[in-house]
Structure 1
Amino acid sequence: MSEVPVLVSHTLCPYVQRAAIALTEKGVPFERIYVDLSNKPEWFQQISPLGKVPVLKVGEESLFESAAIVEYLEDVYQNPLHPGDPIKRAQHRAYMEMGSNILNGIGGLYNAPDEAAFAAKAKELRQRFERLEADLGEGPFFAGETFTLVDAVFGPIFRYFDVFDEIGDFGVLTGLEKVARWRKALSERQSIKDAVTTEYPALLRAFLQKRNSHIAKLAA
């Protein structure tokens, strides 16, 4: 086994993206292999107890869960992406968890079966981003001039809205100026661009169109 870390991935997974972004920001060379989560190979099931990606293979060891992976990267590699101050570091971890909560909300949005349920999920997401709007500073990133793991979490979140915006105006981010500025800065960051393949927008749209949901009707 090569000592170069191997990131086991899925083409659409935002949790994989945050690990890839962290690796890139730290300047860590890594390999990337993709698995089909609808037809999981036996070797993958052996190293992923929950049957999910990402998994980071380091030598003979395998790490699962994105939060554990990025904390391992913080422990082992240079170019820290967490603040040095313990209070701020804990706050950043909390905002990373907020990002995971927002991802769950995005899943609820694209799985909402009808217009009423969709509107309710969009409203919930709007409330989360309104809180972020109130908490953000002048940017360009979450913590100002310094790119952190919170940015690595939210880059993949905003990427969903790049595709959503092509389908319709759901009102989730409308009028949130600080959020818009943050979103733009993250979209221009090379590590975030490189965290997905060029086929990502088309793959995400195809994924949405296959849902038995309100957004599938809008995307058709």
Structure 2
Amino acid sequence: MASLEQPILISFKLCPFVQRAVITLLHKKIDYTIEYIDLQKKPDWFLDISPLGKVPLLRVKDRVLFESAVINEYLDETHGAPMLSQDPLDKAEQRAWIEFSSSLFNALHQLTQARREETYLKIEEDLTKKLAPLERKVGDKGYFEGESFSLVDSAFAPFLMRSQIVADNTGIDPVSDYKKISKWRDNMLSLPEVQKSVVEDFEELYMEGIYERGGYLADL
């Protein structure tokens, strides 16, 4: 049973933004509980406390935090060694890349939903273009920068995991042409906090969703 001091994460099993928070909780070794909801049948109590009607939510005592980047910064500032730079300019740049990671989630999601080949190829080209500046920025030591895990790593890890699952199941891998991102992905997916950040049948659930949508990618 969770104590009153233990945060409660409200989640949906396939949400990459929830996964960001779980990775940070695990990396920081923070005791927490997780509660899953069905986004197709959102409970009234959830709608009452979620201003945007989205996950993740983090319940801390009698207060509720929303937006994954905000949740992660709260966890970072209240537990253990900081995972963002203490230099204001460096921290701002890290926050900018965290925001950028959301555009990769959106592009990959659109890729899995595209029904026509023409649409699929356009989205694939857009995703590939987005990866080019990331390749230039990523370090060559297995992390986003430096030799330690940061909030930028936890922000990108869900995209890196999903891109690997798509590659393993369809042979389509937008990351394959980028050596530093590929190395980064291999390292991220080897970390316990990333491996344990999803439910055991996550890959099956994720691919089921792609096949059920019946898009172009599902037929490859």
What TM-score do the two structures reach when normalised by structure 1? 0.94
Partner of 1:159: 161
Instruction: List per-residue Cα deviations over 1:129-162 (Å, max 9, x = no partner).
Output: 1211112222210012110011001110011112
Q: State the shift of 1:81 in Å.
A: 0.9
Residue 171 of structure 1: how far off its partner (Å): 4.9
The answer to whether the Cα contact below 8 Å between 1:106 and 1:125 also exists between their aligned partners in 2 is: yes
**Does the aligned pair in 1 maintain the 2:163–2:174 contact within 8 Å?**
no
Assess if the C-alpha contact under 8 Å between 1:155 and 1:183 holds in 2.
Answer: yes
For the pair 1:46 / 2:48, whether they are aligned, the reply is yes
Quote how far apart the aligned CAs of 1:217 are: 2.6
Q: Give the aligned partner of residue 3 of structure 1.
A: 5
State the alpha-carbon separation in 2 of the partners of residues 68 and 196 from structure 1. Answer: 20
The partner residue of 1:22 within 8, 21, 24 is 24
Q: How does 1:134-149 map to 2 (within 5 A)?
A: 134-149=136-151
Q: Which runs of 4 or more aligned residues in structure 1 lie more than 3 Å from their structure 2 counterparts after TM superposition?
A: none
Matched, 1:126 2:128: yes
* Alpha-carbon contact 2:115-2:216 (below 8 Å) kept: yes
* Paired amino acid for 2:68: S
Query: How big is each residue's C-alpha offset from its partner over 1:11-64, in whole Å with a ceiling of 9 and x where there is no partner?
Result: 100000101111111221100110000011111111112111000011111111
Write the letter of the residue equivalent to 1:108.
Answer: Q
Unaligned residue ranges in structure 2 (runs of 5+): none
Q: TM-score, normalised by structure 2?
A: 0.94
Question: Which residue of structure 2 aligns with residue 108 of structure 1?
Answer: 110
User: Which residue identity is paired with 1:11?
Assistant: K
CA drift at 1:194:
0.9
Find the counterpart in structure 2 of residue 180 from structure 1: 182
Could you tell me which of 61, 66, 69 is aligned with 1:67?
Answer: 69
Any unmatched runs of 5+ in structure 1? none
Preserved contact between residue 6 and residue 33 of structure 1 (Cα < 8 Å): yes
Q: How big is each residue's C-alpha offset from its partner over 1:57-79, in whole Å with a ceiling of 9 and x where there is no partner?
A: 11111111112211211232222
CA shift digits 1:101-152 (9 cap, x unpaired): 1111112111212111111111111111121111222221001211001100
Query: Does the Cα contact within 8 Å between 1:25 and 1:79 map onto a contact in 2?
Result: no
Aligned residues: 218
TM superposition shift of 1:3: 1.4
Structure 2: distance between partners of 1:76 and 1:171: 37
